[in-house]
Amino acid sequence: MSDETGPGPRSEPGARPRLTLTQPPHATPAQHPRLALTLVLAASLALSLGLAVTIPLIDPDEGRNAEVSREMAAGGDFVIPHLAGMPYLDKPPALYWAAALAIRAIGHTPLAARLPSIIASLVTLWLFGLAARRAGGERFALIAIALLATAPLYAALSAYVIFDMPLTLCVSIVWLGASRAATPAPRTVERLLIFGAIAAGLLLKGPVMLAWALGGSLCAALLARSRDSLNWAAWMPGWILALGTPGAWFALTSARFPEYPHYALIEETFERVTSGSFHRNQPWWFVPAVLVGGTLPWSLATPWSRARFSRSDPRVAHTARVGLGFVVFSGVFFTLSHSKLVTYLLPALPPLAWTAAAMWADRAPRRRAMAMLALLALALTAALVVIALRYPASERGKLSGAPLARAIADVGGDAVRYEDCYSAGTDFLLARSSQLVSTRGVETTSNYLIRYRETLRAHGLWTAFDRPPAGGASIVVRQVRSTKPPPAGGTEFYRDSRFVAFRIADRGAATGQPPAR
């Protein structure tokens, strides 16, 4: 009998339990873990939806990814993503596929662009909860899923147009599958799920998915001093599934853009990891700081103890050991890598939450400690909601294209030209592509466009202008720090911390220069 139930009358084996005065007549969520699990999932979904409809798309990442998806939905090219009408090959297309389908279904709204991350977050929690219930029972599953759902980093990125939440789903399937497949004869369905997740991950972020799958499993094998966590990788038919679809897309893209293999494998992958050319290097303490800070308060409140871990259910402990291999991999790989972002570490959070749940599931911790942790986690989650709802609109707009989009819509601008600046999020919200005046393409924040500008120009695929064309735009947008005089016939109607916008009364008077590309 659990130490959480009070003393009561004994009954004969096989006898039907009787309701006594010590038992509450109405069950609470704590007494029905399945109900509690459902409530946690519902609360996580509500939080994600609340963030998605309240916080505007943030430039550059969210605005850019949303606009690439919109252009894919509008243009119909589901092989080659585009940004500002130009090929955008910085990332594979899976996220854009999902978001483009959502945009076609419900329109060009922030919710549509964020829907793939919301769904990936919810499915990750659901699969995580199923695996936890199978390994440690309802109580353990409730603790594990509650810890993961209330991790601030997980909650915040559950409604963010970024690749890392769908990637987290793929890595979680591999990690949980590797722990289940650590037998001499793993089931075929488990291996199919693992290799299917690898294929999806490759189409999301490229070779880093292979690094997570193989590197995490290898670290788990080293920690356990056993090759069992690598059993799944020996199934050769699975690699046909894992590499087939991504390989087909890679071949199609390389046929249209012969420079792509060099960019994707050498520049975007090898160079990103081994050099500081992407300007994303961080100090040595970055990874532990993100893992601890991204899982507050339970990262510090959890009673971490080898003794408690050893008392956990053997199936829970085995899965935790495999998961810790993936956590160790993230620590080693991203500490050595010269390209680090907070979002890169998101896939490490599910195995961390599983291990923490193993500590809390031990009977030694008291109810009061668990209750305090739950209150802290709920308070932190509630704080995210309050910040989202009460954050001033003026502050929200500083990194978003939404205020500029509203201003352009209010004045009835039907053709926009960006001069040495760009807000992809504004184009997304206006549901149209704008003219871009840019000598190098840096305003797009696309490394591919910056590095292969001349190649695209030679093939007629570079749509940006080197200098403003004559007329054609009713709205001209510039950097707020621009020292250029206002365009001829232009009247300023909008200004914020990034942009200043002019309405042109006579389009032909915007510039007297001939168009140049």
Going from N- to C-terminal start, the domains of the chain cover 30-59+109-390, 397-509
Query: Would you say the pTM of this structure is higher than 0.85?
Result: yes
Largest distance between two CA atoms of the chain: 97
Percent of the chain scored above 70 by pLDDT?
83
pLDDT in tens, 462-506: 999 998 887 778 999 999 999 999 998 899 999 998 999 999 986
Beta strands in 328-422, from DSSP E residues, in sequence order: 416-419
Sign of the CA dihedral running 148, 154, 158, 159: positive
Counting Cα atoms < 13 Å in the Cβ hemisphere of 39 gives: 11
Task: Give the number of other Cβ atoms within 10 Å of residue 161's Cβ.
Answer: 28
Beta-carbon contacts of residue 419 (< 8 Å; ≥ 6 apart): 437, 468, 476, 477, 478, 482, 484
Taking all residues of the chain, what is their mean pLDDT, rounded to a whole number? 86
Tell me the residue type at 259.
E
pLDDT in tens, 219-265: 999 998 988 899 999 999 999 999 999 999 999 999 999 999 999 99
> For the CA atoms of 306, 134, 350, 2, what is the dihedral angle to 10 degrees?
-50
DSSP string of 252-312? HHHHH-TTHHIIIIIIIIIIHHHSSTTSB---TTHHHHHHHHTTTTHHHHS---HHHHHTS
